Amino acid sequence: MPSETLSVVLNRRRLNEADAPASFTADGPFTVVLDNQGKAVHVHLRFRDRLADLTAVGETNHYVEEGRTSRVHVDVADVDEPVSGTLELITGHGADGTGVEITLVPRERPKSVDVDESLSHPGGSAVDEGESDEEDDPATIVGSVDPPDADSVTLLVAGFAVLALLLAALAAMLLDSLVVMLGLFAVVLSVGAAVYVLRS
């Protein structure tokens, strides 16, 4: 897998020794970490083969003090296919060192995301919802019902009045009471007044 750090241990067992992995893979810029575990040492970085044209470092010669760590940033050009070459780590003024097989691979590009075309019209759904709300508004539904006209009300009252008169007359005949007769007279007057008011 691509990595961002190439670790190199200097002077682990002997002077001018450079201990590094045999191979390294990167898909972009990476850092060479020079960890000196012994006396001070000079390290020269040299990219060979096609890597010479695809990589760049600010400084190729580095002096790493005793017990210190130095970091070297390596810029890498984009590649369309894997490219391999060698990074030489030369120590002791050319007397010693090691090489690392470097492979540059294309960077993983983010996957495209399909966007629903309906989302490009943000006002469409709002208009539809507005129309639906207006159609379902209870106030609109109630307001659309026509109130009964005056003639219908008059006929209804007259019907109840006739029914009341019939019931009162029946009660007067059965009970033969003065109170019932007076009640019948009051009902007749009330019905007449109600009909007059509705007609006016």
- Would residue 130 count as lying in a domain? no
- Residue 44 domain-assigned? yes
User: Residue 39 falls within a domain, yes or no?
Assistant: yes
Are residues 158 and 73 located together in one domain of the fold?
no
Q: Are residues 14 and 75 in the same domain?
A: yes
* Sequence-separated (6 or more) residues with CB below 8 Å from residue 149: none
Domain assignment present for 59: yes
Domain ranges, residue 18: 5-104
How many domains, the chain?
Answer: 2
In a domain, 160, yes or no: yes
Q: Does residue 83 sit in the same domain as residue 154?
A: no
How much is the average pLDDT of 134-155? Answer: 57
Reported as a pLDDT band with limits 50, 70 and 90, residue 127 is very low
Sequence-distant (≥ 6) Cβ neighbours of residue 30 within 8 angstroms:
3, 4, 5, 6, 24, 74, 76
Residue 164 included in any domain: yes
Structural domain contains residue 189: yes
Entry field: residues in the chain? 200
**Are residues 9 and 98 part of one domain?**
yes
User: Which one of 70, 104, 138 terminates a domain?
Assistant: 104
- Residue-level pLDDT at 83: 96
Same domain, 38 and 100: yes
Half-sphere exposure of 177 (CA within 13 A, CB side): 9
Predicted local confidence at residue 143, as pLDDT: 53
Give mean pLDDT, residues 76-84. Answer: 95
Strand partners of residue 103: 25, 84
Choosing from 43, 69, 104, the residue where a domain stops is 104
Q: For residue 82, what is the domain's CATH number?
A: 2.60.40.10
Q: Are residues 89 and 152 in the same domain?
A: no
Vertex 150 angle, CA 145 and 156, to 5°:
95
Output the pLDDT for position 89: 96
Judged against a pLDDT cut of 70, whether residue 81 lies above it is answered with: yes
Question: How would DSSP label each residue in 15-62?
Answer: TT-EE--SEEEESS-EEEEEEE-SS-EEEEEEE-TTHHHHEEES-SEE
Predicted TM-score (pTM) of this structure = 0.54
The tens digit of pLDDT for each residue in 35-44 reads 999 999 999 9
SS3 88: strand
Q: For residue 141, is pLDDT > 60? A: no
Phi–psi pair at 162, nearest 5 degrees? -60, -40
Tokens of 74: 């390596």
Whether residues 93 and 169 fall in one domain: no
The token pair at 6 is: 């190439």
* Mean per-residue pLDDT over the chain, rounded: 79
pLDDT above 70 covers a percentage of the chain that reads 56
* pLDDT band (50, 70, 90) for residue 111: low
Helix/strand number for the chain, H first, E second: 5, 10
d(CA 19, CA 37): 11
- Helix or strand holding residue 1 (H, E): none
Q: What angle do CA 11, 8, 28 make, to 5 degrees?
A: 165
C-beta of residue 1 within 8 angstroms of C-beta of residue 32: no
With 60 as the cut, is the pLDDT of residue 68 above it? yes
